[in-house]
């Protein structure tokens, strides 16, 4: 296992550089938006990655609720954190893209708003984890994750209807995509997925170590209490 990580890291780095090159140089320039449209190759894969991570978090949370499995809890924590990172990228690149193209920083665009709400829910999840004391943290967090997941379809429908009543500009445009652009998009998605997997793996290992050290520290202070010097 120890060998795999550095190899994967190198592969991922190569993929990321290749993907960036594809996005910035190789991909055809968009007709109406120009070069700014290339933000799309970072914005969309980040969104997909974030949603996948949050989905994994949801599954891990349910497994924790059903089985109280510590590994499930660690996976939940990991995917939530890395998911928030990717989600932040989406929320930052979105407005940067919108401003030059549509003249506005923000709009209650369905996808962007859904991303914002997910980000809010998961930041509150992380704060809950940070502020709650030891034993109950995994349970409370898992419960919150379930509530968050139940919320998602409701958020989707409420925003969708809000937009049909109050028409807003659509960011990212609909319609078909040029196959060459799709190709670059998928390459970037692959690269970022590998990157996300690597980061999650690191975070997971860190959490394992963190918990072992905490246990040792607790044991240590117990032993000291028992045999005072």
Partner 1 sequence: MTGLTRATLIKDLRLEWRSKDAINSMLFFSLLVVVIFSFSFDPTAEESRQIAGGLVWVAFLFAAVVALNQTWARELRNQVLDAYRVSPASPNSLFLAKAFGNFIFVTVLEALMTPLFIVFYNLRTLGPAWQLPIVAMLGTWALVVNGTFFAAMSLRTRSREIMLPLLLFPISIPALLAMVEATTSILTGEYSAKFWIVLLVAYDLMFTMASLMLFGSVLHAE
Partner 2 sequence: MTYLYAAYAATWIIHVAYLGWLARGYVRLRQEVDDLKKK
Binding site for partner 1 (CB under 8 A): 65, 117, 120-121, 123-124, 127-128, 131-136, 139-140, 143-144, 146-148, 150-151, 154-155, 157-159, 161-162, 165
Strand partners, 30: 34
Identify the residue among 10, 14, 213, 218 touching partner 2 (CB under 8 A): 213
Cβ of residue 25: shortest distance to partner 1, in angstroms? 40
Q: Binds 124, which of partner 1, partner 2, none (CB < 5 to 8 A, cut-off by type)?
A: partner 1
Please return the burial class of 202, using the count of CB atoms within 10 Å of its CB with bins 0-12, 13-18 and 19+: middle
Task: Tell me the C-alpha to C-alpha distance, in Å, between residue 164 and each of 21, 108, 115, 160.
Answer: 39, 11, 19, 6
Cβ atoms within 10 Å, residue 36: 15
Which residue, 33 or 140, is less far from partner 1 as judged by CB?
140
Contact call for residue 129 and partner 2 (CB under 8 A): no
- What's the burial of 127, exposed, middle or buried (CB within 10 Å: 0-12/13-18/19+)? exposed
What is the contact mask toward partner 2 in residues 43 to 72, using x (rule: CB under 8 A)?
x--x--------------------------
- Computed from CA positions of residues 116, 122, 124, 126, in that sequence, does the dihedral angle turn out positive or negative? negative
Tally of residues, the chain? 229
Closest CA to 182 of 35, 45, 15: 45
> Minimum CB separation from partner 1 for residue 174, in Å?
23
Q: How many residues bind partner 2 (CB under 8 A)?
A: 30
Residues lying near partner 2 in the complex (CB under 8 A) are found at: 20, 24, 35-36, 38-39, 42-43, 46, 82, 85, 88-89, 92-93, 96-97, 99-100, 195, 199, 202-203, 206, 209-210, 213, 216-217, 220
């Amino acid at each position: 296992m120890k060998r795999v990580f550095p190899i994967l890291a190198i592969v991922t780095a190569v993929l990321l550089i290749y993907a960036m090159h594809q996005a910035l140089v190789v991909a055809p320039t968009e007709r109406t938006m120009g070069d700014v449209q290339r933000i799309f190759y970072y914005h969309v894969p980040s969104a997909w990655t974030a949603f996948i991570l949050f989905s994994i978090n949801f599954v891990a949370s349910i497994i924790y609720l059903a089985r109280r499995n510590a590994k499930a809890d660690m996976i939940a924590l990991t995917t939530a954190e890395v998911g928030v990172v990717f989600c932040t990228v989406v929320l930052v690149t979105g407005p940067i893209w919108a401003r030059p193209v549509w003249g506005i920083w923000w709009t209650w665009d369905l996808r962007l708003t859904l991303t914002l709400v997910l980000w809010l829910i998961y930041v509150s999840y992380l704060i809950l984890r940070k502020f709650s004391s030891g034993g109950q943290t995994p349970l409370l967090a898992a419960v919150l994750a379930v509530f968050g997941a139940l919320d998602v379809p409701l958020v989707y429908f409420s925003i969708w209807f809000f937009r049909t009543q109050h028409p807003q500009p659509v960011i990212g445009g609909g319609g078909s995509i040029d196959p060459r652009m799709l190709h670059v998009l998928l390459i970037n998605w692959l690269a970022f997925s590998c990157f996300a997997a690597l980061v999650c793996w690191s975070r997971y290992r860190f959490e394992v170590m963190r918990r072992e050290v905490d246990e040792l520290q607790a044991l240590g202070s117990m032993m000291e209490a028992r045999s005072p010097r």
